[in-house]
Structure 1
Amino acid sequence: MLNGLARELHYQYRCMRLGWGFLTGRFIHCNLQITYRCNFKCQICDFWKVERSPSDELSLDDIRLIGRKLNRLGTLIISLAGGEPLMREDIFDIITALNKARHFPILITNGWYVDETTARDILRAGLQEISVSIDYRDPRKHDAQRGIEGSWDRAVRALELLHRHRPDRRNRVHMISVLMDDNLDDIEELIRLSREVGVTYMINLYSWNRGSKRRREPQTKVTEHLLGLKRKYPEFVTLTTYIERLDQAIAEGGIGNCQTGRLLMNIDTRGNVARCTETLDEPVGNILADDVMAIRERLWKVQREKECAQCWTSCRGFAESMFMPPRLRQSREFYTSVQRH
């Protein structure tokens, strides 16, 4: 009983600190690149095209230090990014370390490495949210896009296992799709599939500066169609404000007034800190070597002085959507989805 009470107090304390970040416009999200290794060969990504080694990655002790340093900025949503994050054999220890440092660790996975034990243990370790990528209702199309036969079946199985081992409804499990030029008609069927499995559904626009030379965003307006699906299916939990700006993002190649560097940052596999994954080659410091408050000031300076309008990915979109008017609607929508599902 005491352990249960301690966990609840720890959760509520983190929520309070994160909420303060929302109220004050401070950093709320960090993409932490824990590996660039990946077992898939996705057409829309190029990380897998370069040979990677675990020796090129942050150690567990490095990540523990990063968690403690970031704590000075508040409680953050820390996205364990890649590559495929579940290729890290110490993933359970990484999640535990960031949880103990009073952050909310989350991750996106292709689902290949999720078995019964992994599903149970990553959630027990304190993973707040996990999303499994499925882009098409047709398994053959998904497998072709991801470059691995059987990947669709493994992804669905991963969602089933994660849902089964979910300790609390506040531990969110999503199916997530990259919105492309040939899967808009799949979205409703994928939402229905997520409902059958018992999980929620989200969409994302992929970075246009990585992967295939051919642009893969939809070639038609999508906002009205997707808002209709959101009204129809409560399982579709992508924030309304994010969806409302998709047509503009697609038509203009992104959304202006980017707030990365103020609300969101990226830390690569060497500890170098930049505004986002689009600016990996423009670091402002190294989290392992530099003072985190000095890094914060440099990020804010870059954000103020360097305008960017090159994307509308979900990590940036979520952070900025929570600050867009009407803010009360976004907050209510987010917390309602957590409590309902």
Structure 2
Amino acid sequence: MVEPRKLMKSPKSMDLDITSRCNLKCKYCFQRTSPTDTKTELPTEEWMAFCGELGDCAVMSVCIGGGEPFIRDDLLEIIDAVIENRMRFSILSNGGLIRPEHAEYIASTGRCDYVQISVDGSCPETHDSLRGSGSFEAAMRGVRTLQDAGVPITSRITIHRYNLDDLENTVHLLLDEIGMPSISTNSTCYLGVARKNPDEVALTPAEFCDAMERSLIIAEQYPRRISAADGPLALGRTFQEMEKARAEGRAIPGRGYLTGCGCMWSKLAVRPDGVIVPCNMLAHIELGRMNRDLLLRIWQDHPELNRLRNRYTIPLSTFSECADCPWQLTCSGNCPASSYTRTGNVFAPSPDGCLKRFLEHGGRIIRFP
């Protein structure tokens, strides 16, 4: 039985997707054609007012994303409101629209945790393959602009079939040549526009196995500098942990139930149209609207949100595909958004996070001495 969880009084952080507009049209974008891809975009005053409520609720930080947040002329005004309400911030960007005045202001606040620039290759040939011509050079200009101003920067590599062979070079570029302290990785997933062209952008089972092996080996070469919440590296580490526990005949505390995501215990997200959702990958679950519905009431009392939180009490043994699995007591069921997009049921384990299925498709668990 899992230990009961205690809900904090308010979210620790919030994801604010302030626009669905973007200067790029990446072929794997999970936001485009998803419920987050709204035609409505709220004005400056709405976001500033909401930042006031976040401050009153003692929210500690916000992550500003989109779309591409630098496409909004009022981005710095929104950041002003974040700072005035005693919060820290981070920004997710493709780097192409960052100007020196942006970087200088962000650095001057002293409250920016990082600006994350998406970099999918060490050269235009790989980076631009799914992001569009010219996007690599634009991203590198953005990185240099931020560095020159002293803004903390990091990067996210989205691994796909066209950049897999360039993965090691890309990591070398970001960590060694540019000198970022740390980076993260994920992979293309079956969400948003990628659902329309999975054969073009998604890794095949064999490619995913290859990506997992490469990611684990590269991460060993850069200790504590490459993180992952999803994708080949995250699953590779999870599978290593699961197999080690199984081989030793022990369960992993907190596993054996649908405990694969704890986000709704610490954060929420807001779509560009002001609708509050559990996360930007479960943007179809509408919990309320900012500046109309009280955030604390949504956080503490919304029945759908509490139902999602109670997902962690559902044993994996109740699912036929998990009933006789030797890794059942070491498994968490993976991401609920992945479960929803793959099975149509957020209260089910995700096939994408299944070790048994992974091995059946020819995968193997990487072991290090």
TM-score, normalised to structure 1, is 0.71
Q: 1:23 to 1:274 in 2, by over 3 A?
A: closer
**Equivalent pair of 1:26/1:262 in contact (CA under 8 Å):** no
1:227 maps to a residue whose letter is L
1:254-269 aligned within 5 A:
257-269=260-272
Q: 1:264 and 1:207 mapped to 2: Cα distance?
A: 22
Q: 2:25 and 2:63 mapped to 1: Cα distance?
A: 21
Q: 1:248 and 1:232 mapped to 2: Cα distance?
A: 15
Q: 1:172 to 1:207 in 2, by over 3 A?
A: farther
Q: 1:248 to 1:225 in 2, by over 3 A?
A: same
Q: What secondary structure does 2:91 align onto? A: strand
1:284-303 aligned within 5 A:
284-297=287-300, 298=302, 300-303=305-308
Aligned residues: 281
Which stretch shifts more, 268-277 or 32-41?
A: 268-277
**Equivalent pair of 2:268/2:278 in contact (CA under 8 Å):** yes
User: Offset of 1:54 from its aligned partner?
Assistant: 11
> Counterpart of 2:367?
none
User: Offset of 1:145 from its aligned partner?
Assistant: 0.9
Q: 1:165 to 1:286 in 2, by over 3 A?
A: same
User: Offset of 1:70 from its aligned partner?
Assistant: 2.0
> Counterpart of 1:177?
157
Q: 1:62 and 1:295 mapped to 2: Cα distance?
A: 18
**Equivalent pair of 2:30/2:191 in contact (CA under 8 Å):** no
Partner of residue 43 from structure 2, selected from 59, 68, 76 = 59
> Counterpart of 1:198?
179
> Counterpart of 2:220?
231
Partner of residue 124 from structure 2, selected from 115, 123, 139 = 139
User: Offset of 1:305 from its aligned partner?
Assistant: 4.2
Q: 1:222 to 1:301 in 2, by over 3 A?
A: same
1:139 maps to a residue whose letter is P
1:96 pairs with 2:80: yes
Q: 2:294 and 2:275 mapped to 1: Cα distance?
A: 12
1:216 pairs with 2:199: no
1:1-341 aligned within 5 A:
27-45=11-29, 47=31, 56-125=40-109, 126-147=111-132, 149-166=133-150, 172-194=152-174, 195-199=176-180, 200-212=182-194, 213=196, 214=198, 216-217=202-203, 218-220=207-209, 222-233=211-222, 236-238=225-227, 245-247=234-236, 257-297=260-300, 298=302, 300-305=305-310, 309-311=336-338
User: Offset of 1:211 from its aligned partner?
Assistant: 1.4
User: Offset of 1:129 from its aligned partner?
Assistant: 1.0
User: Offset of 1:47 from its aligned partner?
Assistant: 4.8
- Structure 2 runs not aligned, ≥5 long: 1-5, 240-257, 313-334, 340-369
Which has the larger share of helix? 1
Which stretch shifts more, 265-274 or 207-216?
A: 207-216
1:289 maps to a residue whose letter is R
1:192 maps to a residue whose letter is H
* CA RMSD, Structure 1 to Structure 2 (Å): 3.4
Q: 2:9 and 2:211 mapped to 1: Cα distance?
A: 30
Residue-by-residue CA offset, 1:129-176 (whole Å, 9 max, x unaligned)? 1011111223123223112x211011112112211211xxxx530122
Q: 2:37 and 2:214 mapped to 1: Cα distance?
A: 43
Q: Is the radius of gyration larger for structure 1 or structure 2? A: 2
Q: What secondary structure does 1:58 align onto? A: coil
> Counterpart of 1:320?
none
Q: 1:311 and 1:48 mapped to 2: Cα distance?
A: 17
Q: What secondary structure does 1:192 align onto? A: helix
Q: What secondary structure does 1:83 align onto? A: coil
